[in-house]
Chains A and B, each alone.
Chain A
Amino acid sequence: GESVGLHLPTLSVQEGDNSIINCAYSNSASDYFIWYKQESGKGPQFIIDIRSNMDKRQGQRVTVLLNKTVKHLSLQIAATQPGDSAVYFCAENGGYQKVTFGTGTKLQVIP
C-alpha cells in the first residue's frame, strides 16, 4: 500500500554542523507534506510544510526540499543545536483528510 518511509533511523551530527534528514514517499497523489519534530514524552511539533507545487521552502534555520520526480523529501537544519535532538517525522496528505506519517529519524546532536 501507500507509505511514507525514511532512509536512516538514526543520525548523529556535531553541534554547529548542518543536518539533512531524508524521506521517501510512494503516494504520487500527495499534494502536501509536513515535517514534525517529536521530543521524548511530547507530542509532535509542526516544523515546516510544503505543497507539491513548490520545490523548496525555507523557515528559520530549516529548509524543506521536495523532489517529485523521485518522490523524495528532505529536511535541512542549519547550525544544528543540542535542542534539535529529537525524532523527526515526515508526513503526507494524499488528498485525503488525514496525514500519513513515516517511521521517523532520530537526530542526535553531539556537543
Chain B
Amino acid sequence: NAGVMQNPRHLVRRRGQEARLRCSPMKGHSHVYWYRQLPEEGLKFMVYLQKENIIDESGMPKERFSAEFPKEGPSILRIQQVVRGDSAAYFCASSRREVGVDTQYFGPGTRLTVL
C-alpha cells in the first residue's frame, strides 16, 4: 500500500516562472491537505481539498497560488510568477475522512528553490 506520493521532490525555478507541485494521496483517501514549511519552523496550513472541491483555502495567499484536486489524477498546487520568498518545503497530506475523524498521512514533500 503506497503512501502519499509527491513529485517532484526538488524543484528549482527562476523568479517569474511557474511551479507545479503534484500530490497523489494514499489509496482510498479523498481528503488532501497542503502545508508549507520554512527551515526550522513548523508546518503552516494552506488548503484543504476533497475531490473537485476546495473546502478551506484560508491559509493560501490570495494571489499567485492555486490548488486543485480533480476527479481523476493528483492534486496540484500551482504557484505562478514565483518569488524568492516562495522557497520552502511543501508537504501534502491525505486522509480517508476529515482530520479529527481520521489520521492524515504526509508525503515526503517538494522542496522548492527560487533563484
Which residues in window 73-115 of B have CB below 8 A to A? 91, 93, 98-100, 103-109
**Partner pick for B99 among A42, A89, A99, CB 8 A cutoff:** A99
Q: Are B42 and A97 in contact (CB under 8 A)?
A: no
A-B contact count (CB 8 A): 60
B98: chain A residues within 8 A (beta carbon): 97
Query: Closest approach, in angstroms, between the C-beta of A24 and any C-beta of chain B?
Result: 14
List the B side residues contacting A82 at CB < 8 Å: none
Assembled-state Cα–Cα distance A43/B109 (Å): 6
**A43-B91, A43-B108, A44-B91 known; A99 and B45 CB under 8 Å?**
yes
- Decide if A45 is an interface residue (CB 8 Å cutoff): yes
- Hey, which chain A residues are within 8 Å of B108, CB to CB? 42-43
Contact call A98/B45, Cβ cutoff below 8 A: yes
Closest Cβ of chain A to B94, distance in Å, is 11
Please judge, given known A-B contacts A46-B105, A49-B103, A93-B99, whether A101 and B42 are in contact too, CB under 8 Å: yes
Number of interface residues of A (CB under 8 A): 22
Main secondary structure of the interface of A (DSSP, over half): loop
Contact at A89–B43, with CB atoms within 8 Å?
yes
Chain B residue at minimal CB-CB distance from A44: B106
Complex Cα spacing A98 to B50, Å = 13
Whether the pair A103, B100 counts as a contact (CB closer than 8 A) is: no
B105 with A98: CB separation less than 8 A: no
- Give per-residue flags for B4-48: 1 if the beta carbon is below 8 A from chain A beta carbons, else 0: 101000000000000000000000000001010000111111001
* Chain B residues whose C-beta falls within 8 Å of the C-beta of A103 in the assembled complex: 41-42
Q: Mark B47-60, 1 if CB is under 8 A from A, else 0.
A: 01000000110110
Could you name 25 residue pairs across A and B whose Cβ atoms are closer than 8 Å? A32-B99, A36-B106, A42-B108, A42-B109, A43-B106, A43-B108, A44-B93, A46-B103, A46-B105, A46-B106, A89-B43, A93-B99, A97-B56, A97-B98, A97-B99, A98-B33, A98-B45, A98-B48, A98-B56, A99-B99, A99-B104, A100-B45, A101-B35, A101-B42, A101-B44
- Interface set of A (CB-CB < 8 Å, partner B): 31-32, 34, 36, 42-46, 49, 89, 93, 95-104
